[in-house]
Amino acid sequence: ILNVEQSPQSLHVQEGDSTNFTCSFPSSNFYALHWYRWETAKSPEALFVMTLNGDEKKKGRISATLNTKEGYSYLYIKGSQPEDSATYLCAFKTSYDKVIFGPGTSLSVIP
């Protein structure tokens, strides 16, 4: 059974703090790693997709890195703002066309 894990489960930070969280996935049969942002009462929305070991993606204050050899990806948020409060999901796509979501990290940014 393939397992995708995310840590921490939840996080509370002060406005202006930088933060990061982790997605762990199997290092074999890798095809792609997705990050999604899921705001309360909305649907998950795609942030990044990464396919190559060493990939880094950036969108404003949010960035992500990928290590396929050891099976992890980091999501970084620089200078957190209240509007960054959301659940961040990662999803691992295998080379045999399965997509598995992690349980998410819930971020609360306190003004």
Partner 1 sequence: DADVTQTPRNRITKTGKRIMLECSQTKGHDRMYWYRQDPGLGLRLIYYSFDVKDINKGEISDGYSVSRQAQAKFSLSLESAIPNQTALYFCATSDWAGTEGTDTQYFGPGTRLTVL
- The footprint of partner 1 (CB under 8 A) covers 9, 31-32, 34, 36, 42-46, 49, 51, 89, 91, 93, 97, 99-104
Alpha-carbon span 19 to 53, nearest angstrom: 22
- The answer, yes or no, to whether the previous bond of 8 is cis (omega within 30 of 0) is yes
Check residue 50 and report its DSSP letter: E
Q: How far is the CB of 48 from partner 1 (least distance, A)?
A: 9
Q: How far is the CB of 87 from partner 1 (least distance, A)?
A: 9
Q: How far is the CB of 20 from partner 1 (least distance, A)?
A: 19
The residue among 3 and 14 lying less far from partner 1, judged by its C-beta, is 3
The residue among 34 and 73 lying less far from partner 1, judged by its C-beta, is 34
The residue among 15 and 45 lying less far from partner 1, judged by its C-beta, is 45
* Burial letters 29-54, b for 16+ CB under 10 A, else e: ebebbbbbbeeeeeebeebbbbeeee
